[in-house]
Amino acid sequence: MKIYFYGLHLWEGDYLKDKIGKSLSEHEIEFSEKDLNPDSLPENDAEIISVFVDSVVDKKVLDAMPNLKMIATRSTGFDHIDLKEAQKKGVVVSNVPAYGANTVAEHAFALLLTLSHKVYEAYDQVREKGSFSQEGLQGFDLLGKTIGVVGTGHIGTYAIKIAKGFGMEVIAHDINPNSDLEKELDFKYKDLDELLSSSDIVTIHVPFCEDTEGMFNEERLRKMKEGAVLINTSRGGIVETEALVKVLEEGHLAGAGLDVLEEEGVVSDELEFLRKEHPQESDLRAVLANHVLIDMPNVIVTPHNAFNTKEALERILKTTVLNIESFIEGNPENTVGV
């Protein structure tokens, strides 16, 4: 089999070669630091590819790889892959369902604590001004606050466990409520509107899909409690950026901690975006809204980095290799479909 890994950091290539690459040693393997996308089409005979979320595997990319049989994404989310087109072409897609549930939930709380204890402002003040004044640095406790967890899958479950450790009241919402989990972790499921109006903090852990795209639009954001905080480590497209800017500016929400942004791909490569002859108006608006958001003092933005710990990345690589091996053996695991 010809197996190509895209968007791989050098250390990941070394890790694969040294530790777990041996099981695949009879196959032809190529490592590339570049991501795949329709603007830099691959011309190759890959039968299996492995990509990360920075790649875009759409029809154009799939058409350019006629021998492709399998895509192993090194992520939980798979909205960067056109699943319908892959299915049409008989290409199996696998993901890494649970490499870093604790990791991403920990990051959600890192964002929340940064806001609640004004960690960034305090650090910046001490470092830049050498001032140890507490003026303007008053935060708020998590103890006793109500947190609304939207999506109680792998990551949401860890978020609930961590919140319990802080002595928070937990309520949750999921299209498939898990009553065993509700009993075990001692929280209550609510409908979304009730969760929004009762939570001091809302943390989002649903996947990006047709149902969740724009789920946090202006109407929903306005249903959140006055002075509440929104945390999003899921996918940017779940929260409408312009609406979020509006409710933050008006002071309806007190703050936001975001690891993901709408159209973050465009924002991360603006030079490339500007080189395009006809940028989409919607992309331009997203770039602008993201800049406004990033500059707001009560907003913390991290660059889709919630998954990025040593332990989580090693788990990703191990599961990806297992996914590829199981596919080659004829028993594909962790497959995802439309």
Binding site for ligand NAD (CB under 6 A): 76-77, 101, 104, 151-156, 173-176, 205-208, 211-212, 233-235, 259-260, 304, 306-307
CB-nearer residue toward ligand NAD: 164 or 246:
164
Burial level of 198, CB count in 10 A (0-12/13-18/19+)? middle
Residue of 249, 261, 267, 242 whose CA lies nearest to 300: 261
Beta bridge partners of 40: 37
CB-nearer residue toward ligand NAD: 216 or 307:
307
Residue of 93, 87, 104, 90 whose CA lies nearest to 55: 93
Q: How far are the Cα atoms of 7, 143, 173 from residue 226, in angstroms, in the given order?
A: 42, 19, 20
Q: Least distance to ligand NAD from the beta carbon of 289, Å?
A: 19
Quote the CA–CA distance of 167 and 268 in Å, as a whole number.
37
- Would you state the structure tokens that stand for residue 109, as one six-digit string? 């709380």
Q: Least distance to ligand NAD from the beta carbon of 159, Å?
A: 9
CB-nearer residue toward ligand NAD: 44 or 302:
302
CA 179 to chain centre: 26
* Catalytic status, residue 264: yes
Q: Least distance to ligand NAD from the beta carbon of 13, Å?
A: 21
Amino acid type, 268: S
Please report the DSSP string for 227-239 in residue order.
TEEEEE-S-GGGB
Q: Least distance to ligand NAD from the beta carbon of 57, Å?
A: 16
Residue with tokens 């490339």: 272
CB-nearer residue toward ligand NAD: 4 or 208:
208
Active-site choice (12, 262, 263, 264): 264
CB-nearer residue toward ligand NAD: 260 or 286:
260
* Catalytic status, residue 235: yes
Q: Least distance to ligand NAD from the beta carbon of 77, Å?
A: 3
- For the sheet containing 70-73, what is the strand order? 28-31, 2-5, 48-51, 70-73, 92-94
Q: Least distance to ligand NAD from the beta carbon of 239, Å?
A: 12
Closest residue to ligand NAD in the complex (CB): 153
Active-site choice (12, 220, 235, 263): 235
Quote the CA–CA distance of 111 and 59 in Å, as a whole number.
36
CB-nearer residue toward ligand NAD: 159 or 328:
159
Quote the CA–CA distance of 34 and 29 in Å, as a whole number.
15
Alpha helices, H only, 186-280 = 192-198, 218-223, 241-249, 264-268, 270-275
Amino acid type, 64: A
* Catalytic status, residue 210: no
Instruction: Indicate which residues carry an active-site annotation.
Output: 235, 264, 304
